[in-house]
């Protein structure tokens, strides 16, 4: 059995729910149950795996099936209703080879009613909070909000937005950024290298040259971009 057969890539959909606030926007962050096998205790956006029936009913259209899955999981995890028409695609991430679980994840953004009541399921999700993207990133940097690179990079991308309308306008004609990192161990942690990084093809993070990666140490993510054209980092191109 090949490594790819041992580690099937499962399609999935997740959505960053945003609302207008007094200053800019706020995003709903959910904390996963610490007992879960995947992303235990991490702060995430609602979402989950695509059901085979979703794909079959949509003639194999993975993006459309991911929208359906994201809407279903949003209702189940936090009690909020969004429709596929509300979702704006921002990126598509594939988990690096070598990880125990691999996903082909479509990541969307959707505006919601600021007064809608959040009701977490108390199963997969154990906590929820509305925060500005900047505040969420600050908490992460302080070690208070564990998160994975797709969540982190999405927060960075939408942080400059002044309103939900600004995000929707920026994503209206936006082609989802395709992010297929190559992963490797580094001193004290792990790195996800993106195209343009000197180690992307060699799979050696010490290869001299440009840096285009996310690095995680002790659960805290930092990004490293050097000697690359402006706007080359993932999700920097949505126009906010």
Task: Render pLDDT for 168-209 as a digit per residue (tens, 0 to 9).
Answer: 999 988 889 898 999 999 999 999 999 889 999 999 999 999
Inform me whether the pLDDT recorded for 1 exceeds 60: no
For range 128-139, the mean pLDDT: 96
| Gap between the Cα atoms of 161 and 218, Å rounded | 29
pLDDT the model gives residue 231: 62
Delineate the domains of the chain, giving CATH numbers in brackets. 8-180 (3.90.79.10), 181-232 (no CATH)
pLDDT of residue 6: 57
Whole-angstrom distance, CA of residue 195 vs CA of residue 173: 23
CA 2 to CA 116: how far, in whole Å? 47
CB 127 within 8 A of CB 118: no
Average pLDDT of span 145-159: 92
Which pLDDT band holds residue 236 (cuts at 50, 70, 90)? low
Strand ordering across the sheet containing 211-217: 182-186, 189-193, 211-217, 220-226
Distance CA 78, CA 65 (A): 20
pLDDT band at residue 4 under the 50/70/90 scheme: very low
pLDDT given at position 230: 66
- CA dist 115 and 121 (Å) reads 19
**SS3 readout for 137-168:** HHHHHCCCCCCCHHHHHHHHHHCCCCCHHHHH
Q: What is the pLDDT of residue 237?
A: 64
Question: In angstroms, rounded to a whole number, what is the distance separating the alpha carbons of residues 154 and 82?
Answer: 19
For the chain, percent of residues with pLDDT exceeding 90: 66
Q: What is the rounded distance in angstroms from the CA atom of residue 43 to the CA atom of residue 61?
A: 28
pLDDT band at 3 (very low <50, low <70, confident <90, very high): very low
pTM: 0.90
Residue 88 CB contacts under 8 Å (≥ 6 apart), including other chains: 108, 109, 110, 167, 168, 171, 172, 174
Distance between CA 11 and CA 120 in Å, rounded? 23
Separation of alpha carbons 158 and 175, rounded Å: 15
């Amino acid at each position: 059995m090949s490594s790819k057969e041992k580690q099937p890539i499962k399609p999935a959909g997740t959505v960053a729910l945003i609302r207008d606030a007094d200053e800019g926007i706020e995003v709903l962050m959910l904390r996963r149950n610490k007992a879960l096998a995947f992303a235990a205790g991490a702060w995430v956006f609602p979402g989950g795996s695509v059901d085979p029936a979703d794909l079959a009913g949509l003639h194999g259209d993975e993006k459309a099936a991911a929208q359906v899955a994201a809407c279903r999981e949003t209702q189940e995890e936090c009690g909020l209703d969004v429709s596929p028409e509300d979702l704006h695609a921002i990126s598509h991430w594939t988990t690096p080879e070598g990880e125990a679980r691999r996903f082909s994840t479509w990541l969307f953004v959707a505006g919601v009613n600021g007064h809608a009541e959040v009701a977490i399921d108390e199963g997969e999700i154990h906590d929820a909070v509305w925060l500005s993207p900047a505040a969420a990133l600050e908490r992460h940097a302080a070690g208070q909000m564990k998160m994975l690179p797709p969540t982190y990079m999405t927060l960075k991308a939408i942080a400059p937005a002044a309103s939900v309308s600004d995000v929707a306008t920026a994503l209206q004609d936006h082609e989802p950024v395709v992010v297929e990192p190559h992963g490797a161990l580094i001193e004290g942690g792990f790195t996800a290298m993106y195209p343009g990084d000197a180690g992307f093809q060699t799979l050696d993070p010490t290869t001299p040259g440009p840096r285009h990666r996310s690095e995680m140490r002790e659960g805290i993510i930092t990004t490293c971009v050097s000697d690359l054209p402006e706007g080359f980092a993932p999700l920097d191109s949505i126009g906010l």
